[in-house]
Structure formats: structure tokens, C-alpha cells
Amino acid sequence: MTTTPDTVAPARPAPDGRPALIDASGSWSREALEAEAQSLAAYFRARGVRVVATLLDNSPAWVVADRAARAAGVVHVPIPLFFTPAQTAFALNAAGADAVLTVPAAAAAAPWNALPRDARTVAGRDLVLARLPAAAPGRMPAGTAKITFTSGSTGAPKGVCLSARSMEAVASG
């Protein structure tokens, strides 16, 4: 239902200091992930981000960005790396994204390369937060926490608005 990392292994709650996520580049405890998420959430709030798209692979950085968006009250729009530039542009516009968090190479190749951006390290990855031109907020139901998009194989991508409550219900089921 939502984009979830499939290259990292979320662990059941573990005692302090034990890994919660492990990937090829390292491991992170729940406390370390939460500290990174809170720091990134403060970063989003300080920059007035309302809707952040992530153009990232499945990684601890993606997990931190997802948690940070939720902690900051920012709508998260995960954009799959396999989307074409046209699909990405459609999703960004439809969601009313005002920022994109991605790796430097993707930022350099994208239309938002010339826009204001900041460099930041998240879960050991160098990322760029590119600010998009002011867009009208996307029309979405109250309580929307995430917008996921299909690839639009029969046309333009289609977005689904998900509330935090609905995602928690699915996860706990």
C-alpha cells in the first residue's frame, strides 16, 4: 500500500543500541534513527516545507525521511526511481510538492537543478533538498500524511492519499 524499503530489514523492538535497520553501508539503532528523524524534521520545519517528495532508493535515509516528514507534519510523496521525468513532474505537480529530497546526481540531472538547494547528510548518505517553485498545495483530504503514486502504465500516474491513522491500522493488522 505504501512504498516501503525492501533492501533494509526492520527489526522488532530491540533493547537500546541493538540494530533496528541494517544495510550494506551500516546499521542503525532505533535511537539513532529517531535522532536523525527528529533532526531532519526540524530542518523541514525551519525551511517551511509543506510537501516533500523523496526521490531515493530503499535505504535507511528513506526511512529517516519518512519518519521526519511525519514528525514535522509534512506530507511525504515517495517517488520511485523508475519513474520517467514526465511521471516525476506529474506527481510533484499533482501533490503540490514544494521540496525534493534526493541524491546529488539525481538533483543535478533534474529540472530543479537550478533551484535553491541545501546539502545534508541523512543516515550516512549525502542528500540534497531542492526547493521547488511555489505551487498551490495539492488538493488532498485532511489528515493526509503520504501520497503514493502508481506508475500510470495506462496514462498519467495516479495518486492515493494515505492518513497516518490508516497506515498504522494496516501495519498493526
Asked if residue 7 has pLDDT above 60, the reply is no
**Which run of H or E residues covers position 52?**
strand 51-55
pLDDT in tens, 153-173: 777 888 898 988 888 888 888
pTM: 0.84
pLDDT in tens, 110-129: 776 667 788 999 998 999 99
Asked if residue 78 has pLDDT above 70, the reply is yes
Amino acid identity for residue 69 in this structure: A
Q: What is the mean pLDDT of the chain?
A: 84
